Amino acid sequence: MRSMVRTSPTAWMVAAAFAGMTGLVPGEAAAEAADAPTLTAEESAKAKQIYFERCAGCHGVLRKGATGKNLEPHWSKELPDGTVQEGGTLKLGTGRLEKIISMGTDGGMVNFDDILTREEIGLMARYIQQVPDTPPEYSLKETRDSWKVMVPVDKRPTRQMNKFNLQNMFSVTLRDTGEVALIDGDTKEIRSIVKTGYAVHISRLSKSGRYVYVIGRDGRLSLIDLWMETPAVVAEVKIGFDARSVDTSKFKGYEDKYAIAGSYWPPQYVIMDGQTLEPMKVVSTRGMTVDGEYHPEPRVASIVSSEIKPEWVVNIKETGQILLVDYSDIENLNVTTIAAAKFLHDGGWDASKRYFLVAANASNKIAAVDTKTGKLAALVDTRKIPHPGRGANFKHPQYGPVWATGHLGDDVVTLISTPSDEKENAKYKEHNWKVVQEVQHIGAGNLFVKTHPTSKHLWADAPQNPEREIAESVAVWDMADLSKPKKVINVAKDSGLPETQAIRRAVHPEYSADGSEVWISLWGGKTDQSAIVVYDDKTLAVKKVITDPKMITPTGKFNVYNTQHDIY
């Protein structure tokens, strides 16, 4: 068993804020539910840190559940037939909770027996039987107080000062060190390692392709200038205690003018100046769910920027509401609210860039919003817990344009027919917004599917699967024949690294700018050597294994050109 070591100071500060800013101090014991196991102050502090790092993203800060189950000590809900169902962590008990944490579930929760020690698993089983703490709020003033500009706009380069091929640069999350590695896609060399927030969730590109916006789970948003001789952070701001998403303004006339970032806690989004990150407005997302019930923690799950209108598409997880935020007048903000389904998570554009498809994953649906009309286009039923990342667009030989999603809770890749204005695709109209095929995957636990306009292949990972062989592998299909995988690739074996006790999860296929290569992270433990394995997309052979002692726990990789132009 491996202990939780090398925890970032930033992560600890965030966990301390969660633990202590409601009248508690870091290390003070959590409020105890009746009959709950007791915790010492030291145990409580450690458990809160682990919960923030490993659990809050799926289960929520208040533990009311979303992608993951409700983890409150006691809960009840009325069923359609009028009966009341009751449950809770107290009802499950410490022994049962330890087994669930250790072994994972078929709903997409990984096994933690190779991530946490036996003692830590026991600690977490006892901790989640306590009454959850309520973290503090975070105001516009606090946001502004956190804002820093390291290099003013007028002191930045007026042209690219390095000789890197920026279009084929990769922004790679080093999850557990709170850093981003900028890796040259041509030479496979690390050009810069930039200190950012803890566990950066995504990297987004400015419309111009000059700036990279990266946001960590600790709410720290960093702006990286790729034009500098050594790319570095030129501005940063903390937009909350827990965050996931960021994007910029892309509509003609507003290129790079504004940025928006969404917070998990507090549930709100922040609008900023696009080149300095100066906070301009904070907007709360608390409100009613699509079921007509108030929710205290409706988190901002994903944000994308439309190029059809001056709007951001902002997806609110717990309420199931999709917001179209018009940024043409920030002072008099106009927001269109579209009822979709709980619990909205991540998604991507269709091939036309008119429709945005997002997973309502705990509702087992994909919601599609028409950004041209500002209305919901469809709600499509799928298998358990769809998790597309951005999804994948390609032309199916039988059904025409489709968008693909994988699933955390089922062993299929789902293909959904999408509309097209091209005359040659008119014959596929009868299939639009229907599931036209379910492609058999190697197992449940998928996080990302990916293809490229120049590729004939569809790639899918399964890092959340509890089985080592599956979690360390990816599947590749020939899109001309999706009846079975063309090849199942064990990325861990291809890396040439020595085998470890911990599962080294193969995660997040990402194409090079020209579509000739696919990069896959091999995400090992904090004390294990991790790697990025680069494959030739045509031959499926290994081209390069990128390793470096400084490259710790790489996860998401974002190619500058593909991210800038929403190619997937």
* Catalytic residue (one of 201, 387, 441, 452): 387
Closest CA to 106 of 466, 503, 506, 473: 466
CA angle 193, 195, 197 (to 5 degrees): 130
Token pair in block for residue 458 = 């569809």
| Mean pLDDT along residues 185-190 | 97
Token pair in block for residue 249 = 């303004």
Give the CA count within 13 Å in the CB-facing half-sphere of 24. Answer: 22
Residue 365 has pLDDT above 60, yes or no: yes
Report the distance separating Cα 194 and Cα 499, nearest Å.
Answer: 29
Evaluate whether 428 touches 420 at the Cβ level (below 8 Å).
yes
228 is catalytic: no
C-alpha dist (Å) from residue 442 to 393, 470, 535: 21, 7, 19
Q: What are the beta bridge partners of residue 238?
A: 220
55 is catalytic: yes
Locate the domains of the chain by residue range. Answer: 9-127, 441-568
Closest CA to 547 of 528, 561, 568: 528
| Mean pLDDT along residues 325-341 | 98
What does the pLDDT read at residue 36?
A: 83
331: exposed, middle or buried (Cβ count in 10 Å: 0-12, 13-18, 19+): exposed
C-alpha dist (Å) from residue 351 to 194, 393, 453, 477: 33, 6, 10, 20
DSSP 30: P
C-alpha dist (Å) from residue 226 to 11, 163, 195: 26, 11, 15
Q: What are the beta bridge partners of residue 87?
A: 75
Residue 400 has pLDDT above 60, yes or no: yes
Confidence of residue 374 (pLDDT cuts 50, 70, 90): very high
- The CA R_g of the chain, rounded to the nearest whole Å, is 22
C-alpha dist (Å) from residue 290 to 295, 298, 318, 337, 483: 10, 12, 9, 11, 37
C-alpha dist (Å) from residue 332 to 138, 217, 328: 22, 30, 9
* Catalytic residue (one of 345, 407, 431, 441): 345
Angular region, 202: left φ>0, alpha ψ -120 to 50, beta rest: beta
Evaluate whether 340 touches 359 at the Cβ level (below 8 Å).
no
Q: Are strands 179-184 and 190-195 parallel, antiparallel or unpaired?
A: antiparallel
What does the pLDDT read at residue 23?
A: 33
Closest CA to 124 of 30, 9, 241, 264: 30
DSSP 386: B
* Catalytic residue (one of 109, 272, 479, 551): 109
Token pair in block for residue 440 = 């058999």
169 is catalytic: no
Q: What string of DSSP letters covers 336-349?
A: EEEE--S-EEEEEE
Q: Are strands 473-478 and 344-349 parallel, antiparallel or unpaired?
A: unpaired
58 is catalytic: yes
Q: What is 441-568's CATH topology?
A: Methylamine Dehydrogenase; Chain H (2.130.10)
Report the distance separating Cα 278 and Cα 288, nearest Å.
Answer: 30
Helix residue ranges, H only, 425-555: 468-471, 491-495
Helix residue ranges, H only, 4-150: 9-20, 41-54, 56-59, 89-103, 118-127, 140-146
What does the pLDDT read at residue 107?
A: 67
9-127: CATH, from 2.40.50.140, 1.10.760.10, 1.20.1070.10, 1.10.645.10:
1.10.760.10
457 is catalytic: no
Q: H or E segment at 563?
A: helix 560-564
What does the pLDDT read at residue 57?
A: 81
Preceding amide of 343 cis, omega within 30: yes
Report the distance separating Cα 403 and Cα 395, nearest Å.
Answer: 9
Task: Summarize pLDDT for 124-155 with one digit per residue, the tens.
Answer: 999 999 998 888 999 999 999 999 999 999 99
Report the distance separating Cα 539 and Cα 339, nearest Å.
Answer: 44
Task: Summarize pLDDT for 416-468 with one digit per residue, the tens.
Answer: 999 999 999 999 999 999 999 999 999 999 999 999 999 999 999 999 998 99
Residue with structure tokens 């999706």? Answer: 482
Higher pLDDT, residue 529 or 320: 320
Instruction: Estimate to the nearest angstrom the gap between the alpha carbon of 110 and the chain centroid.
Output: 16
Q: What are the beta bridge partners of residue 205?
A: 212
Higher pLDDT, residue 85 or 276: 276
Confidence of residue 33 (pLDDT cuts 50, 70, 90): low
Closest CA to 303 of 243, 362, 346, 365: 346
109 is catalytic: yes
Report the distance separating Cα 492 and Cα 87, nearest Å.
Answer: 39
pTM > 0.85: yes
Residue 315 has pLDDT above 90, yes or no: yes
Residues above pLDDT 70, as percent of the chain: 93
| Mean pLDDT along residues 236-249 | 96
Evaluate whether 474 touches 489 at the Cβ level (below 8 Å).
yes
What does the pLDDT read at residue 86?
A: 87
Q: Return mean pLDDT, the chain.
A: 91
Residue 546 has pLDDT above 50, yes or no: yes
